[in-house]
Copies of this chain bind each other. A is one copy, B any other.
Amino acid sequence: MQTHDSPQLKAEARDFNFFYGQAQALKKINMPIYDKKVTALIGPSGCGKSTYLRSFNRMHDLYPGNRYEGEIRFYPDNTNLLSPEVDPIEVRMRVGMVFQKPNPFPKTIYENVAYGLRVRGENNKRVLDEKVENALRGAAIWEEVKDRLQDLAPNLSGGQQQRLCIARALATDPELLLFDEPTSALDPIATGAIEELVHELKKRVTILIVTHNMQQAARVSDYTAYMYLGEMVEFGKTDEIFIKPKDKRTEDYITGRMG
């Protein structure tokens, strides 16, 4: 249904292992992330989806005892995101993230979106105004909030908050956007809006999305990876995985069978 032109690589995990202290959470992951495509990560609870996703912006660096092995190559500049020489802050500036529960800062709508820009030292009102507007438009929430930019963000509805968080991530023009179960806290209507948005966004950015909802993966993604017990079991075009997975474990998961 979707047409697949031959895609370019945006990132690539190579023999990637991850450890929480002693416990190995990810085992030898090899996986491409294609440019301007949506890649979905599915798998049972605890299989390591979030762990994998959060490696892309070095979120694990925030907590002690975590350890990476292997590489995550980032293109076109072909840096290894995990390399100790690469500053995690720099990585995070290039890789945006949207979380499971909308987590707007207790600030105004405007300041939420401007946050990333301010972090980057931008304080010019005009530039901020413009970028904030663009980001809010990009997140399809501009019309709803343009008259109340000075309201506190936590007063928005759940779905609006989540779109605001997306706008916040968009404002800084990330090259890769990570979504960790972005709709699990939302009702079906808000969920629909977010999925729409993801579809729009992939024209501009590469997206990696974790979801528990297989139908959602089927709906929004171009590629799907099935993970199980810390391993990547299957990676392929979404179209194929959902009608005809290759691996028995993927099949079992997708059809709702017991492991």
Contacts and interface: CB of A to CB of B under 8 A. Distances in A.
A256 B214 contact: no
A218 B214 CA distance: 18
Q: Size band of the A side of the interface? A: 10 to 19
A221 to B, nearest CB: 17
Interface in A85-134: none
A44 B256 contact: no
A189 interface: yes
A37 to B, nearest CB: 24
Nearest to A157: B45
Interface in A236-259: 256, 258
A187 B259 CA distance: 14
Contacts of A45: 158, 187, 189-190
A188 B214 CA distance: 9
Contacts of A213: 188
Contact of A187 (B188, B192, B212, B258): B212
Interface of A: 44-45, 158, 187-190, 192, 212-214, 256, 258
